[in-house]
Structure 1
Amino acid sequence: MIPTYALAAAPQQTLAAWHRFVTTGSEEVLRPLLAPDIVFRSPFVQAPIPGRSATLLVLTTVTQIFEQFQYHRTFVAGSHDAGLEFSAQVGKWQLKGIDLITFDDAGQIIEFEVMVRPFKALAALGEAMGNRIGPQLLALKAAAAGG
């Protein structure tokens, strides 16, 4: 038998606030949801992107780029892990994706991983993100790496 899971109470509250962030795009809504040492895993780069500042920059920017964004399903894998299936439009490209989110005991997001398909939509998203925040993101990654 396949076990069923429910998110713990604190992650449930964070997930509800996450949906408010997606609707508003507000950095003020997002900031307290993210642990200071959050790790963001982008579909564009192999190395994780560390830290709250970089994650805030990426997530607030992507809410500006995505059009017709919609979550379809939520998957729960334990008391501190969730997956959110979504669709969106980037320019002429329709995409599908999954946000994989891990929460700490306090409910803050400690890991956020994004997967997107098809490749042409991912490429369009990468180009749009690079045009808007490429240099800023590189600077934040360098600062987090200590150099």
Structure 2
Amino acid sequence: MSEALAPSPRQTLAGWHAFVATGNAGLLTPLLSEHIVFRSPFVQSPIPGRTATLLVLTTVVQIFENFRYHREFVAGTHDAALEFSANIGKWQLKGIDLIQFDDDGKMVEFEVMVRPIKALQALGEEMGNRIGPELMRLKAASAAP
């Protein structure tokens, strides 16, 4: 028996697709828990907090070209995986967004996996050029006591 995503996470996922289609950060902010954890394919430690996650996700939608989702997988009522493809310059990539939702439907964990390595490197370089210092500052601030 396959399980369906609960109604609140399903509504959030619809909002996510609207954000991806438009790049409008105003659509994304209410979908994210204040304490969301973002797991990047570039760094080992998670990136905590809504501000840093907003920075990453609003930047990446500007970098990806020909972005499209292909399939959605649901595990339980609060977890989804979205398979996507995109281009970064000459590199074509495939990836998976793993999203966990809380009972209110807010995203509490967002993990990205990307392949092949050349496309991941191109993405990492572009992200670093655009937001590297600001992201490091946000990570440091969240780690401070």
In structure 1, distance between residues paired with 2:128 and 2:112: 16
Query: Over aligned residues, Cα RMSD in angstroms?
Result: 0.7
Which residue of structure 2 lines up, in the alignment, with residue 99 of structure 1?
A: 97
Q: What is the DSSP-based 3-state SS (H/G/I as helix, E as strand, rest coil) of the residue aligned with 1:44?
A: coil
After superposition, where does 1:1-147 map in structure 2 within 5 Å? 3-146=1-144
In structure 1, distance between residues paired with 2:53 and 2:23: 13
Q: What's the CA shift for 1:5?
A: 1.1
In structure 2, the gaps of 5 or more residues are none
> CA deviation digits over 1:99-122, x for unaligned, max 9?
000000000000000000000000
Structure 1 length as normaliser, TM-score?
Answer: 0.97
In structure 1, the gaps of 5 or more residues are none
Q: What is the DSSP-based 3-state SS (H/G/I as helix, E as strand, rest coil) of the residue aligned with 2:140?
A: helix
Q: What's the CA shift for 1:146?
A: 1.0
In structure 1, distance between residues paired with 2:48 and 2:24: 21
Q: Percent identity of the aligned residues? A: 72
Q: What is the DSSP-based 3-state SS (H/G/I as helix, E as strand, rest coil) of the residue aligned with 1:5?
A: coil
Q: What is the DSSP-based 3-state SS (H/G/I as helix, E as strand, rest coil) of the residue aligned with 1:46?
A: coil
> CA deviation digits over 1:45-65, x for unaligned, max 9?
010000000000000000000
